[in-house]
Amino acid sequence: MRLTRYTDYAFRVLFHVAVNDGRPVPIAEIARTYDISQNHLVKVVHELVKTGYLRSIRGRSGGVLLARPAEQIGLGEVVRHTEPDMRLLDCVGCLIASACSLPRPMQEAINAFVEVLDKYTLADIVNESDGLERILAGTRD
């Protein structure tokens, strides 16, 4: 199973903003830190703002901040928002689709994967990752 690049970028943005908690973080800073296209990150950040993970501040000293405490942002919840069509199989057009029971255990596996992520929050990752703060807090404009 593989998560999309979109989800990867969403987690990177959330980690960066959480480490710099209380300071509006410009998207350009995040893009430069991870060497990711700013245009890609704008889309990701827009969705994270829309879904209530981030809030944005416009203007010269603007950027993004966490919209709620990192302890209240579950990893499984983020994956559910960024991977709305998480399927391991594409049964459309398959000759045996009407008789095959493989999709059921595959869906159970996906559910189990996300349930493990539900045990962790953004705060858990940020607090348990030695050196993360040193790396990400040192990338300011």
| Model pLDDT for residues 15-51, shown as the tens digit of each residue | 999 999 889 999 999 999 999 999 999 999 999 999 9
Q: Which band of pLDDT confidence, cut at 50, 70 and 90, is reported for residue 106?
A: very high
90 closest CA partner among 102, 78, 82? 102
Q: Which residues contact 127 (CB under 8 A, 6 or more apart)?
A: none
Rounded CA-CA distance 136/126 in Å is 11
* Full residue range of the structural domain in which residue 125 is found: 5-137
Any idea which residue has 């501040």 for tokens? 57
Q: 29: domain CATH number?
A: 1.10.10.10
Q: What is the pTM of this model?
A: 0.90
Express each pLDDT in 74-93 by its tens digit: 999 999 999 988 888 889 99
Counting the structural domains of the chain, the total is 1
